[in-house]
A and B are shown apart, each in its own frame.
Chain A
Amino acid sequence: MLRVVNLSVEVNGKRILKNVNLYIKKGETFALFGPNGSGKSTLLNAIIGNPAYKIVGGRIIFKKVDVTNLPTNERVKLGMGMAFQSPPKINGVKLIDILRYCAKLSGNQEKIEELAKKMRMNEHLERAVNFGFSGGEVKRSEILQLMLMNPDFVMLDEPDSGVDLENISLVGKAIGELLERDKEEREKAGIIITHQGHILDYVSADYGVILYNGKIACVGDPKDILNQIRKNGYEGCLAKCLKDMT
Chain B
Amino acid sequence: MSEGYDIDMEKLREVGIELDPAKRSATFLQQDQDVRNVATFYEGVEVMSIREAMKKYDWVKDYFWKVLRRDQDEFTKIADSEDVNGYFVRALPNAKVEIPVEACLFLHRARTQKVHNIIIAEEGSELNILTGCTSHPSAVGMHIGVSEFFVKKNAKLSFTMIHSWHNKIEVRPRSAAIVEENATFISNYILLNPVRLVQMYPTAYVHKNSKAIFSSVIVALEGSVVDSGSRAVLRESGATAEIISRTISKGGKVIARGQIVGEAEGVKGHLECKGLILSENGEITAIPELIARKPNLELSHEAAIGKIAEEEIFYLMSRGMSRDEAISAIVRGFMEIEIKGLPEVLKRTIDKAIEDMRDAL
Contact = CB atoms under 8 A, between A and B. Distances in A.
B312 A51 contact: no
A50 B310 CA distance: 10
Given A91-B336, A101-B320, A149-B320, A52 B330 contact: no
Interface residues of B, number: 23
In this complex, the interface size class of chain A, counting residues with CB under 8 Å from chain B, is 20 to 34
Given A52-B311, A73-B321, A88-B309, A101 B316 contact: yes
Contacts of B309: 88
Interface in A12-27: none
Contacts, number: 73
A102 B319 contact: yes
A51 B310 contact: yes
A90 B318 CA distance: 14
A87 interface: yes
Interface in B295-347: 309-312, 314-323, 325, 329-330, 332-336
Given A97-B329, A102-B320, A90 B312 contact: yes
A105 B321 CA distance: 10
Interface stretch (A76-84, A110-118, A211-219): A76-84
A84 B319 CA distance: 11
25 contacts: A48-B318, A50-B318, A51-B310, A52-B314, A71-B317, A72-B317, A73-B318, A76-B320, A88-B309, A88-B315, A90-B312, A90-B315, A90-B316, A90-B330, A90-B333, A91-B330, A92-B332, A92-B336, A93-B316, A93-B333, A98-B316, A98-B319, A101-B316, A101-B320, A105-B320
Interface of A: 48, 50-52, 71-73, 76-77, 81-82, 84, 87-88, 90-94, 97-98, 101-102, 104-105, 128, 145, 149
Interface of B: 274, 309-312, 314-323, 325, 329-330, 332-336
Given A72-B317, A76-B319, A92-B334, 20 more contacts: A50-B318, A51-B310, A71-B317, A73-B321, A73-B322, A73-B323, A81-B318, A87-B315, A88-B309, A88-B315, A90-B330, A91-B333, A91-B336, A92-B332, A92-B336, A93-B316, A93-B332, A101-B320, A101-B325, A149-B320
Closest 8 CB pairs of A and B: A92-B333, A92-B336, A93-B333, A72-B317, A73-B317, A105-B320, A101-B319, A101-B320
